[in-house]
Copies of this chain bind each other. A is one copy, B any other.
Amino acid sequence: MKKIECIFRPSKLEQVKEALSMYGINGMTVTHVIGCGIQKGKTELYRGSEYSLDLLPKVKIEIIIKDELVRQVIDIISSAAKTGQIGDGKIFVYDVETAIRIRTGETGDDAI
């Protein structure tokens, strides 16, 4: 089992979700985050004083899936979330040791 963690633009969430759902993936957990990277934000003025808006809103989605689906899911998300502009975001992959479905107690691949 792997965890695919993707950070991308909030405006793309709906598209990503739809693309995944068409591929049969419905389980996911979404968090609102802020981030910076190459995309640097900007400086604005409030009452004449500068402040920097350098952490920009992103969404993070986490999907735990079977190992064999990883490649495909990455591709789906990549193409759905892409605009080609700086700030599109990243996908990270982690290993998951086990999973448990609270409702049934199922574990492993059955739980997801």
Contact = CB atoms under 8 A, between A and B. Distances in A.
A96 B93 contact: yes
Given A26-B37, A89-B103, A92-B96, 8 more contacts: A3-B94, A7-B29, A29-B58, A31-B60, A90-B99, A93-B96, A93-B98, A94-B95
Q: How many copies does the complex hold?
A: 3
A92 B8 contact: no
B105 A90 contact: no
Given A37-B26, A97-B95, A90 B111 contact: yes
A71 B76 CA distance: 34
A27 B36 contact: yes
Most chain B CB within 10 A, of A36, A58, A77, A84, is at A36
8 contacts: A6-B102, A26-B36, A27-B37, A31-B31, A88-B103, A89-B102, A90-B112, A92-B99
